[in-house]
Amino acid sequence: MLTGANREFRTVDLTTRKLTEQEKGVLELGLNFIPTTDIDPTKYVARVIAGVELGLYKKDVIQKKQIVSEMRNTIGRSLN
């Protein structure tokens, strides 16, 4: 990790405010670094289901049953 003047030279602050040391540290990790958070499986499944329900609105009954069945299988495999 760079310190002091070297860090200032490598990190260009284009914002109207000064970057914190923590923000600079994240930027130094490079473009391949992606910060992530833990995924709550319950919220994830709820969002997937809500998205699928939106997409099912204009489908016929047979298509709806096929899609719901496939979603159940996919969610079941993902949670195991």
What is the DSSP secondary-structure string of 59-80? S-HHHHHHHHHHHHHHHHHHH-
Secondary structure of residue 54 in the 3-state scheme: helix
pLDDT of residue 20: 84
pLDDT tier at 3 (50, 70, 90 boundaries)? low
pLDDT digits (tens, 9 = 90+) for 36-75: 778 787 888 888 888 888 888 888 999 988 988 888 888 8
The whole-model pTM stands at: 0.42
Q: What pLDDT is stored for residue 7 in this prediction?
A: 47
